[in-house]
Copies of this chain bind each other. A is one copy, B any other.
């Protein structure tokens, strides 16, 4: 039997936590008098409120009497049973028969939530919105909140006390090192009570460079407890006696995915990626844990894929998707970035493919329709993306020819339409299915016509400017999404990917797409070389988490500089964790071919390794795969699998170890 859940107006939980988390970023500033202080730093996009009202109902016929017990997080709430309003704490006996239970409430400083113990009428997704814009939409819920004593507005983090691994006197103060990047509430004690700026650092250099460190604490008093914050080092100035520890704050996510091979650097890398993910897996998938601690759609998009090969937590994906969608009306692209809107739509399809969670697709479908209502009137007469003054065209931290609508955006728009056609098919919206399919095909066709440059043998950023600028990005999307001919793909690989004159990717963000594309076309060496050199390069510099950007040509503290700030770069950025996805999908070789792993393939590949082994999570258990030069073993808890080794295929039987000698 399904658990009773706390329920609320759909999206309220996510809008509430999104509002809180997007409003707690801080940064440090130096003032005219030389003092440095931590101040709040707000997003440039609209932050929406949760609905402070909710009205949810369920109509059903009960076959036997049942007792309803009503809980709510606000005293103003009513449980209206067949027209009679009962207040919080009421117990009502229902006779067998037809009934309507309506839950209503208002909460000024949060969102109203309800919990009804009962049988047929226990609270869960089956309740629907009874009035207003969202009429008929299913109640919001979280699998975290299933107990009547739960406090739904308090996010369910766990805490663990962590002490520094070292402490030393330096520059007239004390420097604490926690051994690796961490996140939590800092406790300082043994202070003299004087006001001071305590400097934090993801690097040693940042922490002791108080005048420039990105994050710090405005400390007063002899003891001090901070809000949760990210750091590895703490520097407390003007003291020799201070003590520090941290309440490490985290989600109890289990790493169901695993990977091991005979290359220890890669094993370390995998763990560093997993830890990077853990730190950034919170109310939603964050970009970075020092900065911005915000939910960025393109960043989250990649975290979803890593998650499908690591914790396989479906709640955090749903939360992220809803937070990114925000409230109504949609007046700007998600995070103001057009590519992030297109990726948001695609991400829901990937979620469905990996999890088989049809309820969520149905629940979010009206929100996706609203998104298209925003997107479509802004397309040009060919149905292609055209930049509006308020749009941020991101794609990557790289230089594009942005005079006109750039090629990579068209590919992401096509991808969104391709996903949309599939959603529409799923929910039986035939008009939209037809429309989205046509738009998808039209954009792919026109992009190939307009942006392909025969002389360059590549897609150019822009077809109107005459600059014929080639960047890797659109060309990578063409490979990855299969949006061009085999002949053109060959040309792209030669003229773009293996062409050193084309600016290299410097962000792990776009390495995700590049390496995914290269693996997709079977060039695994390109990927493993990059893990060793690019990711390995960060590990060699002592990284305990993956960085936002990495340029191997830089030296010393140059590595920490970004956006014009000496230490503004994030050294723990989720978009660096893609090796987990790449190794799970292409080395262990496990991926769904049917929705929710109803069917799947295991196509392991040793790549440059002597042996590999690991697990890949699915909605119904973890698939174990090992491979060396002699044999391959697969053990799977689910039906529907096919092991592919070279040209040969083997059926994988549920719970029976399959061993194939090579």
Contacts and interface: CB of A to CB of B under 8 A. Distances in A.
A108 B20 contact: yes
A185 B86 CA distance: 24
Contacts of A29: 84-85
Contacts of A563: none
A19 B52 contact: yes
Contacts of A331: 133
Contacts of A328: 328-329
Contact of A49 (B52, B86, B87): B52
Given A23-B53, A85-B39, A44 B108 contact: no
Contacts of A32: 84
A51 interface: yes
A32 B94 CA distance: 12
A542 interface: no
A262 interface: no
A46 B108 contact: no
A28 B78 CA distance: 13
A47 interface: yes
A78 B40 CA distance: 7
A19 B109 CA distance: 11
B39 A47 contact: no
Nearest to A107: B23
A277 to B, nearest CB: 28
A387 to B, nearest CB: 18
Copies of this chain present: 2
A132 interface: yes
A76 interface: yes
Given A328-B328, A329-B328, A104 B42 contact: yes
Contact of A133 (B46, B78, B108, B132): B46
A155 B16 CA distance: 25
Contacts of A55: 42
Given A49-B52, A55-B42, A331-B133, A76 B108 contact: no
Given A76-B23, A84-B31, A109-B108, A132 B52 contact: no
A242 B427 CA distance: 63
Interface string A14-32: 0000011001000001011
B23 A132 contact: no
Contact of A40 (B19, B104, B332): B104
Nearest to A135: B390
Contact of A87 (B39, B77, B78, B109): B39
Interface of A: 19-20, 23, 29, 31-32, 37, 39-42, 44-47, 49-53, 55, 76-78, 84-87, 104-106, 108-110, 131-133, 328-329, 331-332
Given A31-B86, A328-B328, 9 more contacts: A19-B108, A23-B106, A31-B84, A39-B78, A42-B106, A49-B49, A108-B109, A133-B331, A329-B329
